[in-house]
Amino acid sequence: MRARIVGLIVLMVFLFSTASRAKVRIKDIAQVQGTNEVSLIGYGLVVGLEGTGDGKGTIFTIQSLVNMMQRMGVNVPAEKVKVKNVAAVMTTAKVSPLDKKGGTIDVTVSSLGDATSLQGGILLLTPLVSSDGMLYATAQGAVSIGGFNVQVEGGSKIVNNYTLVGRVPNGALVQREVDAPYPDDKVITILLKYPDYTTAYRVSESINRELGNYAVATDEKTISISIPQEKQSLANRVKFISDIEALGVEPDEVARVVINERTGTIVAGQFVTISPVALAHGNLNIEIRTTPLVSQPAPFSLGNTVTTKSSELYANEEKARIVFLEETASVKNIATALNAIGASPRDIIAIFQALKEAGALRAELVIL
């Protein structure tokens, strides 16, 4: 039953991908140049854990704790320190030109040692720097993991969600603003999140049709827009950008099949096509059964009890399921043909890989 449900979900993914494409807002597929984010990173300590912190073998946690205590005027021998309530973590965040000094940003905290959970922990003051070593923010606060990890006697435990990565909402205070390029009063540059010549041309055409002949696509990612003179003031420029972001565009896409082998998920776009091909698919099931055999010595003899194993091998090859796929330009037709032979998600993954090798799949195959 579970296999049928998974197969139905995969089929639904194929069918939904064939739906007619609706227009999307420009702000959903592009951004104004100058609002790029800067990635930040820092090393810190999470304290207050209930025995779920790093073990004695995590030397860098002990060193960090001892150094911190010494800066506070407390001298503690490193060999006397136990860190079961402390965990070393890497702290990451992103800051953009829109984040002003004195504002706050979210922080992600990830365990660095052998801690078992960050539940209930507090992140101590942690500097966050960019790749060039510039300090942009400082983080501190309670760590939220959105789950739990409960262990009981006998080694049993109950785990809900992943407990070694957490967040500190609004946990970082911005100390330095990101230098943004000075805005040009006469030109706005829009950058597509997924570069494509056709989409860039359609964006420029939509702007020219709705707002005036101001836009030109300079490459597959960039659209340059001239600001009319009456909209070059600060307030009018903001309104002009808002009008551009609200325009609808039908983005183009590359024919692509994305496969996640770990979960058995397959997603195919509407432009995926298959050339005429005959397809046969079947499974070979092999089962090995092992039976323990015990040989007992005769009564009052000097022999020993001997345990051996008897193995039997069973092989069952399914009858091949054959289907002929004609020239098709519809993902729905592909899904129907694969469903007709009763293909499971794992079967479909193998079939798409074989189609690509045979040159019959006219699409990019992406395996995650």
Query: What local confidence, expressed as pLDDT, does residue 237 receive?
Result: 86
Query: What local confidence, expressed as pLDDT, does residue 6 receive?
Result: 40
Q: Where are the domains of the chain?
A: 2-19+255-284+318-367, 24-34+181-249, 38-174, 288-316
Helix 197-211 vs helix 234-245: crossing angle, to nearest 10: 120
- Report yes or no: 196 and 252 within 8 Å, Cβ to Cβ: yes
Q: How far is CA 159 from CA 106, 109, 149, in A?
A: 25, 19, 4
Query: What local confidence, expressed as pLDDT, does residue 283 receive?
Result: 55
- Report yes or no: 332 and 15 within 8 Å, Cβ to Cβ: yes
Query: What local confidence, expressed as pLDDT, does residue 248 receive?
Result: 92
Query: What local confidence, expressed as pLDDT, does residue 204 receive?
Result: 93
| DSSP secondary structure letter of residue 349 | H
The pTM of this model reads 0.57
The alpha carbon dihedral of 213, 218, 224, 229 has a sign of negative
pLDDT along the chain (368 residues), means of 10: 40 44 85 82 93 86 88 84 89 90 94 89 94 94 76 57 86 88 75 91 93 91 90 84 91 82 74 73 53 67 66 55 58 68 72 78 79
Q: What are phi and psi of 45, to 5 degrees?
A: -125, 135
**Residue 209 CB neighbour total at 10 angstroms:** 11
Query: What local confidence, expressed as pLDDT, does residue 121 receive?
Result: 92
Helices (H), 17-80: 26-29, 59-71
For the 24-34+181-249 domain, the top CATH level (class) is alpha beta
